[in-house]
Amino acid sequence: MARAAGVDPALVLHFFGSKDGLFEAALELPLDPAGVVAGLLQGSRDDLGERVVRTFLGVWDAAPAQGPMLALLRSAVSHPDSADRLRALLLRAILLPLAVGAGGTEPDRRAALVASQVAGLALTRYVLRIEPVASAAPEELARAIGPTLQRYLTDDVG
Amino acid sequence: MARAAGVDPALVLHFFGSKDGLFEAALELPLDPAGVVAGLLQGSRDDLGERVVRTFLGVWDAAPAQGPMLALLRSAVSHPDSADRLRALLLRAILLPLAVGAGGTEPDRRAALVASQVAGLALTRYVLRIEPVASAAPEELARAIGPTLQRYLTDDVG
């Protein structure tokens, strides 16, 4: 399962350990972080924000009932240890490589701002299920939220 | 306590019921929703996004260790019933009145987009504690994230 999904079990084990079922949840993530980031950084920089939204929604929507991602989020909200691990994985495997690749100043700040929008998109769409975001087509959300991520990754952010 | 904080106990009870400790947590929220929204809508519409960020952070930072808000978030992520109640309270008491007051088209869509950014800001700053957002001054976050909320509330959102 982990191999088929492209996740490196050693990476997951390093960040999540084997307790709380987190390891099992993370192994089911339909996510190959390095491949995802490389894919996002291909193509025009002008569309980067929209591509991030499309890809993020594709990963969540592909998981059965968003089970693995919701398990990670639930664990992070309830256990500081899990929050530490999820933060480390998100930053090191996805957000920092993305922000560095986008080429802007202060990549750590940009990565944190991107986190603030994509984490909230997940919470709004899959947990709180606030309409019309909960059932909007990915393409519509890419148009609405893509410019936010574009600014956080490549433009002036105060 | 509830009276001093300006929360209407009947409103909280209506949305949260009395189980799971949610009612108690919500009562401790340092939040008078109608007053908060009225305050946000005073002053220039051009600064509305930054004011929302400042006010949101003020509410979270004023709570002791963010206890009541984290309790609500934790409960919503773990229990669909709690998520339903939190969504209803957020939309009816805060986000929809704010979006309607801002005067843009499709206020329900704008309210959901605002939710996606502010919920993620809370998750990033107080739960995942991703730096530098976790320890940034509110004014810096207002400059960085305010334009996002400004666009969601008043501008073209695709």
User: Tens digits of per-residue pLDDT, A66-84?
Assistant: 677 788 888 888 888 888 8
* Region for residue A60 given its phi and psi (left: phi exceeds 0; alpha: psi -120 to 50; beta: otherwise): alpha
Q: Which residue of B has its CA nearest to A113?
A: B133
Coil, helix or strand for A148? helix
Question: Taken in order B8, B73, B98, A129, is the CA torsion positive or negative?
Answer: negative
Q: pLDDT over 90 for what percent of chain A?
A: 54
Higher pLDDT pick, A157 / A79: A157
Q: Cβ separation of B116 and A121 shorter than 8 Å?
A: yes
* Structure tokens given for B152: 């969601």
B54, B56, B121, B128: which to substitute to probe chain A, counting the most A Cβ within 10 Å? B128
Span B50-73, average pLDDT:
84
Axis-axis angle for helices A138-154, B107-122 (nearest 10): 50
- The minimum CA-CA distance between B109 and chain A, rounded to whole Å, is 6
Span A27-33, average pLDDT:
65
Q: Cβ separation of B115 and A132 shorter than 8 Å?
A: no
Q: Cβ separation of A91 and B123 shorter than 8 Å?
A: no
Task: Write down the pTM of the prediction.
Answer: 0.86
Q: pLDDT over 70 for what percent of chain B?
A: 78
Span A28-43, average pLDDT:
82
Chain A with chain B: Cβ pairs closer than 8 A: 140
End-to-end CA, chain A? 43
Judge whether residue A56 has pLDDT over 70. Answer: yes
The verdict on whether omega for the bond into residue A64 sits within 30 degrees of 0, i.e. cis, is: no
Span A47-66, average pLDDT:
87
Residues of B in contact with A128 (CB under 8 A): 76, 83, 86-87, 90, 115, 119
B130, B150, B151, B153: which to substitute to probe chain A, counting the most A Cβ within 10 Å? B130
Instruction: Report the 10 Å Cβ neighbour count for B114.
Output: 27
Put simply, whether A48 touches B (Cβ < 8 Å) is no
- The partner residue sitting opposite A116, judged by closest CB among B78, B117, B131, is B117
Q: Cβ separation of B130 and A120 shorter than 8 Å?
A: no
Q: Cβ separation of A147 and B151 shorter than 8 Å?
A: yes
- Which ipTM was obtained for this model? 0.85
Q: Cβ separation of B119 and A140 shorter than 8 Å?
A: no
Q: pLDDT over 70 for what percent of chain A?
A: 78
Q: pLDDT over 90 for what percent of chain B?
A: 54
pLDDT in tens, B79-101: 888 888 889 888 988 999 999 99
pLDDT in tens, B8-17: 566 556 655 5
Higher pLDDT pick, A83 / B25: A83
Put simply, whether A25 touches B (Cβ < 8 Å) is no
Q: Which of A1-15, A17-31, A43-57, A133-147 has the lowest mean pLDDT?
A: A1-15
